[in-house]
A and B are shown apart, each in its own frame.
Chain A
């Protein structure tokens, strides 16, 4: 990067506004969400009825655990259940 006078620095700073706070928090909570997904999957493995309930409605199962059912979290749960 060359030729960075103050005007250019200011222009470059403007290029990176803060994303919505909720997006950032959801991404930061990923490790916790993954751990809770692992708990859900363990319960599904241990009990067929629980597994059927979770598979029938992944989003509700996540919400019941207090996990925001973002598409990536739902996909992670689906993949974990299908990997059994």
Chain B
């Protein structure tokens, strides 16, 4: 099992100017921010990139203002949501520019799903390699058994069973946290 730095520990290290910690924070939340932009709010790539960079710029700039180091995750979610809405407003795609007009049911549902997904991702990180690599390649990068086998120097015929065992490990990690 990989040793995982908690969000609070990571934030504390970032605040002290630790570049490695900042890299890890960006890595940990980059998928989440990206998914909120392109899945929940369906921003086009150029707008999504601007929002993505702005989110991390503000996180970096305002890390000292965070009331509790544990609250980085909801803060990032809220910040990303607000910046996506601002972007939609400024580009005129949102019409009357009220947040409720964004179909809050759909957005809220998508955000809840992404929040669950981030929890699963954290469990995958805790399980560590090689499961992280195998599951990421299969589910997130859509690679074939053969491609995964070639990349990791594993027999392609064993990939399906490895995926199954790795999913079971992630499930056990999730159950251990609930």
* Chain A residue contacts of B39, Cβ below 8 A: 15
Q: How distant is A29 from chain B, measured CB to nearest CB, in Å? A: 9
Within 8 A of B (CB), among A1-47: 1-2, 4-6, 9-10, 12-20, 23-24, 26-28, 30-32, 34
Bound: A19/B140 CA distance, A: 10
Q: Of B27, B34, B57, B167, which is within 8 A of A76 by CB? A: B57
**Contact across chains for A13 and B139 when beta carbons are under 8 A apart:** yes
- What are 23 A-B contacts defined by CB distance under 8 Å? A2-B178, A4-B116, A6-B164, A6-B167, A6-B171, A9-B171, A9-B174, A13-B124, A15-B117, A16-B114, A16-B121, A17-B31, A18-B30, A18-B34, A18-B136, A18-B141, A23-B30, A27-B30, A28-B22, A32-B19, A70-B53, A73-B57, A76-B61
Given contacts A27-B30, A27-B52, A70-B53, contact A12 B22 (CB under 8 A): no
Q: Mark A60-80, 1 if CB is under 8 A from B, else 0.
A: 000000000011110110000
Bound: A17/B26 CA distance, A: 14
Q: Interface majority SS on A: helix, strand, loop or mixed? A: helix
Count of interface residues, chain B, beta-carbon cutoff 8 Å: 44
Q: How distant is A25 from chain B, measured CB to nearest CB, in Å? A: 9
Bound: A1/B118 CA distance, A: 11
Give chain A's interface residues, CB within 8 Å of chain B. 1-2, 4-6, 9-10, 12-20, 23-24, 26-28, 30-32, 34, 70-73, 75-76
Q: Interface majority SS on B: helix, strand, loop or mixed? A: helix
Bound: A4/B64 CA distance, A: 35
Q: Of B50, B120, B170, which is within 8 A of A71 by CB? A: B50
**Contact across chains for A16 and B171 when beta carbons are under 8 A apart:** no
The 6 closest A-B pairs by CB, nearest first: A19-B34, A72-B57, A27-B56, A16-B31, A15-B117, A13-B139
**Contact across chains for B120 and A9 when beta carbons are under 8 A apart:** yes
Bound: A48/B43 CA distance, A: 41
Q: Mark B103-131, 1 if CB is under 8 A from A, else 0.
A: 00000000001101111110010000000
- In the complex, the chain B residue whose C-beta lies closest to that of A17 is B140
Bound: A72/B53 CA distance, A: 6
Q: Of A12, A17, A71, A73, which is within 8 A of B116 by CB? A: A12
**Contact across chains for A15 and B114 when beta carbons are under 8 A apart:** yes
* Chain A residue contacts of B33, Cβ below 8 A: 19
Q: How distant is B79 from chain A, measured CB to nearest CB, in Å? A: 13
